[in-house]
């Protein structure tokens, strides 16, 4: 759907021809949507691109594979059309697909509950300027960058258990990344180890002139030891010459502030369950 511009002489910053360098938000949206596609396509995700919307769908439960992002504000008079397009793409009415779908918007949205969506909250978008130095890892933690399939499996185990999945779920191939992600230089992944156990992880996606820090997690039995903060620092410094951004939770915000992040504004996040639910 084309984006409506009230006055073409006045750029609002969400028009489809807006330069990537127009703003940090524009950089983040270009980076974020490219990262969603780069994660999902190797696993077989379908994608949708419109002037106002980007979406990816694996049709099954996934960490980060079933994500839609508003590329322009959703005004009340457009909510019916956009939610209908999402319904059609994700098959909410048709059935046959599973896995919860998440919708992210950097702008306030109309109430989408009448369209079947659930309001999850308002996540802070946080910024850390370029530069700085890496803190040393806490005693007993070894940090390794993922470079092979074994490292990718360890990353998946740490991140999925960190987000509440069982060990059996975390062993399922392709739950987070496919092996082809190892050939994508934009993705960088780190795993924190206690002995031979992967206990913490963080990822960075470098594109559009920023570092997007994502998928930060620590397994329940290894929390409150500083592991998440030091793994986040590694991802933040994936390219020290670039600013880093991340979407935080209110619970994790203080951790990120301690390593130099500041909150810019909040994204609105909605979810929509499908038959069989799941992430």
Domain edges within the chain: 20-124+267-272, 130-242
Q: Which range has the worst mean pLDDT, 55-59, 65-69, 271-275?
A: 271-275
Element (DSSP H or E) covering residue 185? none
* Region label for 102, one of left (φ > 0), alpha (ψ between -120 and 50) or beta (otherwise): beta
pLDDT of residue 167: 86
Q: Which CATH number fits domain 130-242: 3.40.630.30, 3.40.50.1360, 2.60.200.30, 3.30.565.10?
A: 3.40.630.30
3-state helix vs strand vs coil in the chain, percent to 5? 30, 25, 45
Q: Which two tokens stand for residue 225?
A: 């030891």
pLDDT of residue 4: 63
| 3-class DSSP state of 168 | helix
Instruction: State CA 174 to chain mean position distance.
Output: 16
User: Tell me: the pLDDT tens digits for 185-223?
Assistant: 999 999 999 999 999 999 999 999 999 999 999 999 999
Q: Please give the residue that has the higher pLDDT: either 275 or 125.
A: 125
Alpha helices in 120-226 (DSSP H): 149-162, 167-170
Q: Which two tokens stand for residue 29?
A: 């949206």
What is the pTM (predicted TM-score) of this model? 0.94
Distances (CA, A) of 138 to 18, 113, 158, 275: 43, 44, 17, 43
Predicted confidence (pLDDT) at residue 278 exceeds the cutoff of 60: no
Distance CA 156, CA 257 (A): 26
Which is nearest to 138 in space by CA: 203, 223, 17?
Answer: 223
User: Tell me: the pLDDT tens digits for 86-103?
Assistant: 999 999 988 888 999 999
């Amino acid at each position: 759907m084309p984006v409506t511009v009230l006055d073409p002489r006045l750029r609002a910053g969400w028009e489809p021809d807006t330069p990537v360098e127009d703003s940090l938000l524009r950089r983040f949206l270009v980076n974020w949507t490219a990262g969603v596609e780069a994660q999902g396509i190797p696993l077989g995700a379908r994608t949708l691109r419109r002037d106002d919307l980007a979406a990816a769908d694996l049709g099954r439960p996934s960490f980060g594979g079933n994500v839609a992002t508003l590329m322009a504000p959703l005004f009340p008079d457009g909510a019916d059309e956009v939610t209908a397009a999402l319904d059609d793409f994700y098959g909410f009415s048709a059935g046959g697909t599973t896995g919860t779908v998440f919708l992210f918007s950097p702008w306030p949205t109309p109430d989408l509950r009448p369209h079947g969506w659930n309001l999850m909250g308002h996540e802070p978008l946080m910024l850390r300027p370029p530069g700085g130095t890496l803190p040393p890892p806490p005693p007993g933690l070894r940090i390794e960058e993922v470079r092979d399939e074994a490292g990718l499996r360890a990353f998946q185990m740490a991140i999925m258990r960190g987000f509440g999945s069982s060990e059996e779920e975390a062993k399922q191939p392709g739950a987070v990344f496919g092996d082809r992600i190892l050939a994508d230089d934009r993705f960088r992944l780190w795993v924190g180890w206690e002995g031979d156990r992967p206990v913490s992880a963080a990822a960075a996606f470098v594109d559009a002139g920023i570092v997007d820090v994502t998928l930060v997690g620590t397994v329940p039995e290894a929390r409150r030891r500083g592991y998440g903060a030091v793994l986040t620092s590694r991802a933040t410094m994936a390219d020290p010459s670039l600013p880093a951004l991340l979407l935080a939770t209110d619970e994790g915000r203080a951790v990120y502030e301690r390593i130099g992040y500041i909150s810019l504004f909040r994204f609105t996040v909605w979810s929509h369950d499908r038959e069989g639910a799941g992430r």
